[in-house]
């Protein structure tokens, strides 16, 4: 007996843009430029341009499997470069322009990239990177004129041949390389494959996920230089949604203007971005009537901010959890859930499995309503870091996220802290996330962070850092009083430090490495 067979349809990412170009050719990719001008192009002509860029790269010697760096903002030109690199079978190594030059040079050295596609206003940074790496490092400039020996990409596109072939490689081939944010430790490289990102996209599009459709106008504020921009550059063309890119302008006024002009229905980014939008609308007035949903992740959502967003903007806030190693989405709170909370990050979609374990990685006998160390496995979860021979997972495929978490009876995930952030005081553990959750819920508080400071008697003691909405807000006593009865008395921080602006990593997370460097020295120690 001869079984039937299905077609060998490779799950490669170029198919998303090809689908949009054929079936939604006039649906737009919109970019807000620095000068206030808005660029727009349909998926059909955009794919033609992107394939010409592939021809340019091939003419410069780029081959299947080569790594091509990008150092750019959320723009049409960056979007085109993504598909040009990935479509020809090369690997798109996104560089975060908010990292130090030395860190970026180390990443380029490790990846072996010899060519970078760079936003014009970042070309100076790119040249500094080039000075620090031994390999030849050529620069192609987008979104502005080239200088200092770099080459403008636009004239090369105009001269390139049409119809460069895409997708002639295996679906398990690598397509992307991103280094972790490094807010709690040294960055590690995560390699994405076409198959993993394709399956990740299908999960994100589900009704109980991000639920993006061809009727949406999608604003991607989450940066394209980190963690696949949460997969939005794949999800939007997969359904033919209008994709709105803000360039480098993510301030409240710019976002409000863009949301109104482009009738944005779904907006995605970290909580601090939406705090800026909210404060602009509260101060200046006006509405964003088209906006229906805001998807947040990358950092804890303060309950007070979630309530203010939903009340003032009339939106549904969907919390989520993920990490670079998960491509990056792990769980999303469905918009239709009758009960939603800022502390809950929703359920995993099919293709992702979660487990809570003890400190040695042994599964807890009770998987519901018990705090434990969070493990994850799935088709879009890292197995081994870039350049490392040793697997990053255990024998059963479980990846240790470094998060502490609870899963409730309905399967909703709540991240309760980071294992590396735990403070050991007098031999007992203090969880900063629980303190932060209480303080962040105060309406007067914009952001809060708790770190440990060395203590001669107790080993470590917690200190509280806060950024208040108004400089003359709550007293230190009132901030600490809010913790009474909510956490153990010995958990209450020894000191409150007010910061004018909380230091943030490029992904929007509070940068605790920087906070520790500045504030964690014991009393009387010299300043760093």
Question: Sign (positive/negative) of CA torsion 393, 396, 401, 402?
Answer: negative
Most confident of 16-25, 101-110, 460-469: 16-25
Note if 180 is an active site residue: yes
514 pLDDT more than 70: yes
pLDDT tens digits for range 472-507: 778 999 999 999 989 888 899 999 999 999 998 766
Domain extents for the chain? 40-169, 422-519
Q: b vs e for 460-479, b when ≥16 Cβ sit within 10 Å of the residue's Cβ? A: bbbbbbbbbeeeebbeeeeb
Give the burial class of 498: count Cβ atoms within 10 A of its Cβ; 0-12 exposed, 13-18 middle, 19 or more buried. Answer: middle
3 state DSSP class of 403: strand
Q: What is the pLDDT of residue 181?
A: 66
- Select which of 26, 128, 424, 490 is catalytic: 424
Alpha carbon 159 to chain centroid distance?
35
DSSP alpha helix (H) spans, 369-525: 432-440, 476-481, 512-519
Active site (annotated) includes residue 242: no
Q: Cis ω on the peptide bond leading into residue 448 (within 30° of 0)?
A: no
Buried b (16+ CB within 10 A) or exposed e, 509-525: bbbbbebbeebbeeeee
**What would you measure as the largest C-alpha separation in the chain, in angstroms?**
82
Strands 189-193 and 217-220: unpaired
Is 228 in contact with 328 (CB distance < 8 Å)? Answer: yes
Sheet holding 347-348, edge to edge: 38-42, 28-32, 242-245, 217-220, 266-269, 293-296, 316-322, 329-332, 347-348
Residues 6+ apart with CB under 8 A from 415: 300, 321, 345, 374, 403, 404, 405, 433
Average pLDDT over residues 172-184: 83
Q: Report whether pLDDT(523) > 60.
A: no
**pLDDT-derived band of residue 528, with 50, 70 and 90 as boundaries?**
very low
40-169 and 422-519 in the same fold: no
12 counts as catalytic: no
Which residue among 63, 429, 475, 490 is the active-site one? 429
Place of tokens 């949460």: 230
pLDDT digits (tens, 9 = 90+) for 45-95: 999 999 999 999 999 999 999 999 999 999 999 999 999 999 999 999 999
Q: Give the mean pLDDT of the chain.
A: 93
CA gap 493, 193 in Å, rounded: 44
Q: Please give the Cα distance from 299 to 320 (Å, whole number).
A: 9
CATH fold of 40-169 reads Rossmann fold (3.40.50)
Contact 141, 150 (CB under 8 A): yes
Please report the pLDDT score of residue 89 as a whole number.
98
Please state whether beta strands 399-407 and 413-418 pair in parallel, antiparallel, or not at all (unpaired).
antiparallel
pLDDT in tens, 312-368: 999 999 999 999 999 999 999 999 988 889 999 999 999 999 999 998 999 999 999
Q: What percent of the chain has pLDDT over 70?
A: 97
- Map 41-66 to HEC letters: EEHHHHHHHHHHHHHHHHHCCCCCCC
Confidence (pLDDT) at 526: 45
Q: Any idea which architecture 422-519 has in CATH?
A: 2-Layer Sandwich (3.30)
**DSSP letters along 98-154, please?**
TS-HHHHHHHHHHHT--EEEEEGGGHHHHHHHHHH-SS--EEEEESS---TT-EEHH
Q: Exposed, middle or buried, 136 (CB in 10 Å: 0-12/13-18/19+)? A: exposed
d(CA 507, CA 250): 12
Residue 445 scores a pLDDT above 80: yes
Catalytic site residue from 28, 262, 325, 467: 325
399 pLDDT band (50/70/90 cuts)? Answer: very high
Q: Which helix (H) or strand (E) holds 258?
A: helix 252-262
**pLDDT more than 90, % of the chain:** 80
Q: What is the mean pLDDT of residues 301-315?
A: 93
Give dist(CA 50, CA 445) in Å, integer.
Answer: 45
pLDDT at residue 241 is higher than 80: yes
Retrieve residue 52's tokens: 């010409």
Q: Which residue among the candidates 180, 193, 319, 401 is catalytic per the annotation?
A: 180
Per the annotation, the verdict on 263 as an active-site residue is no
């Amino acid at each position: 007996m001869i079984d039937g067979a299905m077609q060998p349809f490779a799950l490669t990412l170029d198919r998303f843009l090809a689908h949009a170009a054929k079936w939604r050719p006039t649906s737009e990719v919109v970019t807000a430029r620095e000068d206030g001008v808005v660029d727009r192009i349909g998926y059909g002509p955009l794919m033609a341009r992107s394939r010409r860029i592939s021809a340019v790269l091939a003419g410069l010697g780029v081959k299947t499997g080569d790594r091509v760096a990008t150092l750019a903002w959320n723009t049409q030109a960056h979007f085109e470069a993504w598909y040009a690199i990935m479509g020809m079978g090369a690997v798109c190594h996104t560089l975060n322009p908010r990292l130090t030059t030395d860190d970026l040079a180390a990443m380029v050295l490790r990846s072996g990239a010899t060519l970078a596609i760079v936003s014009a206003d970042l070309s100076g940074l790119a040249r500094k990177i080039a000075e620090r790496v031994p390999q030849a490092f050529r620069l192609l400039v987008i979104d502005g004129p080239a200088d200092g020996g770099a080459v403008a990409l636009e004239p090369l596109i105009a001269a390139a041949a049409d119809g460069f072939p895409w997708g002639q490689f295996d679906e398990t081939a690598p397509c992307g390389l991103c280094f972790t944010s490094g807010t709690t430790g040294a960055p590690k490289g995560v390699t994405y494959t076409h198959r993993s990102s394709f399956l990740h996209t299908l999960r994100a599009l589900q009704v109980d996920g991000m639920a993006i459709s061809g009727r949406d106008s999608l604003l991607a504020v989450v940066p394209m230089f980190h963690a696949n921009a949460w997969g939005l550059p794949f999800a939007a063309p997969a359904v033919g949604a209008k994709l709105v890119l803000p360039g480098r302008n993510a301030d409240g006024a710019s976002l409000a203007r863009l949301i109104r002009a482009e009738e944005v229905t779904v907006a995605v980014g970290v909580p601090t971005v939406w705090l800026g939008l909210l404060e602009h609308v509260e101060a200046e007035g006006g509405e964003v009537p088209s906006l229906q949903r805001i998807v947040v992740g990358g950092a804890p959502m303060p309950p007070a901010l979630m309530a203010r967003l939903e009340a003032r903007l009339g939106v549904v806030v969907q919390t989520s959890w993920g990490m670079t190693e998960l491509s990056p989405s792990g769980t999303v709170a469905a918009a239709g859930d009758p009960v939603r909370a800022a502390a809950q990050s929703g359920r995993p979609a099919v293709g992702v499995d979660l487990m809570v374990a003890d400190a040695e990685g042994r599964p807890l006998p009770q998987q519901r309503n018990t705090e434990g160390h969070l493990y994850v496995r799935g088709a879009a979860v890292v197995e081994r870091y870039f350049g490392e021979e040793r697997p990053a997972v255990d024998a059963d495929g479980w990846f240790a996220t470094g998060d502490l978490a609870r899963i409730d009876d309905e399967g909703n995930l709540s991240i309760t802290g980071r294992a590396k952030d735990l403070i050991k005081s007098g031999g007992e553990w203090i969880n900063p996330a629980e303190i932060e959750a209480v303080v962040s819920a105060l309406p007067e508080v914009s952001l809060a962070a708790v770190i440990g400071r060395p203590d001669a008697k107790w080993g470590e003691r917690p200190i509280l850092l806060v950024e208040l909405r108004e400089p003359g807000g709550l007293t230190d006593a009132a901030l600490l009083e809010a913790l009474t009865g909510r956490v153990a008395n010995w958990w209450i921080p020894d000191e409150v430090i007010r910061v004018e602006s909380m230091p943030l990593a490029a992904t929007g997370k509070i940068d605790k490495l920087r906070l520790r460097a500045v504030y964690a020295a014991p009393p009387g120690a010299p300043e760093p």
